[in-house]
Structure 1
Amino acid sequence: MIFESKYPLPEVPETDVFNYIFHHGRRPYPCSRVLYCVDRTGETLTLAQLEEKSRRFADAIRSEYGIMPKDVVGILAQDKSKS
């Protein structure tokens, strides 16, 4: 089934996903803002931590698999709690 939004489509960004999420497309949140909190453990993730983890992930897939900027990548992952 195809669903159509009643809202207009947003403009396509003229930047890569990382820069759009962390620099161009986000509201001016402080880096210490908590974005994610695990109910059972109280574990949190701040904007600064998410950016750092994203950079480390990018470095790892670049060195491990030779993936470079502008390469198209799809990632399918199972929820950590269900593995």
Structure 2
Amino acid sequence: SFMQTIKSFTPATTVILQWLVWRKYFEWRIWASLIPIVGGILLTSVTELSFNMFGFCAAMVGCLATSTKTILAESLLHGYKFDR
């Protein structure tokens, strides 16, 4: 269940990666929508009874990998029209 909680951090890591690596800019509303997501995940992580730093880091690496895959898939499929 903890992995699923951390996996819900994927939208935030996707936005942060696009901003840091690919210099894509987002509206303030997108950044504001990430505040409750990040806050909830931090609250859940701190109150996790069986918290393990190695497990947390492994889950974050998985989250970053998922975000990178999403960004690369979007950039590779950009321009293709599938509704023909």
Shared fold, TM over 0.5: no
After TM superposition, the score normalised by the length of structure 2 is 0.35
Bigger radius of gyration: 1
Higher helix share: 2
Q: Pick the structure with more strand per residue.
A: 1
